[in-house]
Amino acid sequence: MKKKAKRGLLPYLFLFLIMLTILYFVSNMNNKVNILSYDEFVVALNEGKIDEMDITPKSSARVYELTGKLKNYKDNESFFVRVPLSDEIVSKVLDTNDKYNFKLVTEPDPSSNSFWIVLINVLPMLILVGATFFIFTKQMGGANKSMDFGRSRAKLNEDSKKITFDKVAGLDEEKEEVSELIDFLKNPKKFQKLGARIPKGVLLVGPPGTGKTLLARAVAGEANVPFYYISGSDFVELFVGVGASRVRDMFKQAKHNAPCLIFIDEIDAVGRQRGSGIGGGHDEREQTLNQLLTEMDGFGANEGIIIIAATNRPDVLDPALLRPGRFDRQVTVNLPDIKGREEILKVHAQNKTFAKNIKLSNLAKRTVGFSGADLENLLNEAALLAVRRNKDKITMAEIDEAQDRVLMGPAKKSKKYTEKEKRTVAYHEAGHAVIGLKLDGANEVQKITIVPRGAAGGYNLMLPKEETYFSTKRELLDTISGLLAGRVAEETIFNEVTTGAHNDFEKATKIARAMVTEYGMSDLGPVQFEQNESSVFLGRDYNKSRNFSSQVAFEIDQEQRKIINECYEKTKKIIKENKDLLELIASSLLEHETLTKEQIDYLVENGKMPTDDVKEEKEELTLEQLKSLAKDKGIKGYTKMSKEELEKELDK
């Protein structure tokens, strides 16, 4: 490190010297120097025109150097003249200066000072040699980089040892799957004794943000072994053969540091299926993949090297990568369920301060479909909002706003509705709420707002009533009805339709199409007519296989339209039967602009909005939280009160 610091200072030192030289010459450019002849100097001296003069003897050149100013000179103007040492006029001036009546300064002979001689003669040479050395080292640095072109880009991550399974929440089954890797890295002899072969490679598959990289680092941290991190794109270069060279170098380093763990992120960048490209099978990416396959077969089962790779697209990987002996184990890292989300929220909430009425379990229920990264971002956004609002704690208002920002973007409060548009949006969103309340299989409305967000004029948070692994036909049909409810409400109230339901139609059409062509939930029978075939090079979902005739295609369209029409008529009937509820929710939206699930439920039961929101929040508090509030308010004898008594005292 010290050598690097010294080497880094040299260029700046030489640059400083060069700048000084330039400044010296620039400053001298503004000064005008008149070189006088000997005769002109004598005339000026005898006529008394000299105002001041400096005399510097130069014994090495056997001359006097005379500089000074004449009386008619400007401030930046001076003269210069050389006079032989043998000339008597200088001696005469020195002896009888009073006669001439001008300021006279005598300088010592520079040749008598050896330091200045060395400086004047050696400094230019030093600058020249230094500049040459600097240019040479820069060229050598570039050459070293070119020599280093084929070296592995894998980074040794020391921080991974600080990450353990305690910091990985919501992945209990996945941690069990990789726990035997930790046992092997800690005690390989136990496996060798029984002749067991630990998988050479483990492939982590799952959506983005689910914790694949974090899980791999936790394995290395639990085993306390070196953790090499590299991305699949780091192998691929412009020049053919560089990626293969980097693969060889990576495994060479790993063997020297075994036992160790290599993590390859986004392996689909280099591990895509071979032979599907347009340009043949000898491009750089395929050469890199071939080398990776060879190296994974090149080390033994118990050499202490384990490769963990992560991808979002296992369908595009080459089959040779997934065979036994290479990546022979796949671990699917799914989106967390409600229990997993609560555990993840607890991890990310450790360094944050929340209000007492915040329950992470309730927040976990409202974040269906969120990944671990989404949940971390949600709490971070809530904390940023609390700071922006000058609060010392994160309240439910910040969490609600943060969830809306994550899903739909910030609210566009400056965007103004016309009164007609506002009413239309209110009835549209109220229609979704009515179907969510009246149909068991429809998604439940958690929040409604008519404040514009993103590209949407209104926002309706609809979540399944329960988290399930599969959906029934009835649930799918009720979901379609819930999506169509906005358009039905517009048509029922205004006898007119708008473009606001286009996203609802898109989702409903996809569900209906899948019911007919993929799930076998139509009169065409349990037949799968379509399946997604993602082309490796032409893009995801570029085409679908269609193993049916044009007549069947016509029947598919009819069945799809039939499902949509039946759901539309069913929704229209429910909306008309519950028109009073629709009017109630819409009028409340027009007044308050935003309604939560609790407020909607209260509307259904009581026909009016709750007047004491604080009371609704207190009913959800635990006994300990109620006692804490009572203590803050100075209520006497709160420790002996029951939950009901505390609620009554707090209501007062």
Catalogue the active-site residues.
429
Look at the alpha carbons of 586, 591, 593, 594 in this order and tell me if their dihedral is positive or negative: negative
Interaxial angle between packed helices 643-651 and 623-633, expressed in degrees from 0 to 180 and rounded to the nearest 10: 40
What is the Cα Rg of the chain in Å? Answer: 41
Neighbours of 63 (CB within 10 A): 18
Backbone dihedral angles phi then psi of residue 81, each to the nearest 5 degrees: -150, 145
Q: What is the 3-state secondary structure (H, E, C) of 510-541?
A: HHHHHHHHCCCCCCCCCCCCEEEEEECCCEEE
DSSP letters of 82-137? EEETT-HHHHHHHH-HHHH-SEEEE---GGG-HHHHHHHHHHHHHHHHHHHHHHHH
Handedness of CA 574, 578, 583, 585 (dihedral sign): negative
Amino acid at 271: G
Contact present, 260 and 225 (Cβ < 8 Å): yes
Do the strands 459-463 and 594-596 form a parallel or antiparallel pair, or are they unpaired? unpaired
Residues forming beta bridges with residue 264, ordered by sequence position: 230, 309
> Given the structure tokens 């395929």, which residue do they identify?
286
Q: CB-hemisphere CA count at 13 Å for 198? A: 28
Task: Using DSSP, state whether 451 is helix, strand or coil.
Answer: coil
Residues 6+ apart with CB under 8 A from 24: none
3-state class of 81 per DSSP? Answer: strand
Using CA atoms, how far residue 75 sits from 34, 51, 53, 72, 78, in Å, is: 13, 12, 14, 10, 8
Q: Are 480 and 488 in contact (CB under 8 A)?
A: no
246 Cβ partners below 8 Å, 6+ apart? 150, 151, 152, 153, 234, 235, 288
Contacts of 410 (CB under 8 A, 6+ apart): 453
DSSP annotation of 219 reads H
> CA 582, CA 578: separation in Å to the nearest integer?
6
Cβ distance 74 to 95 under 8 Å? no
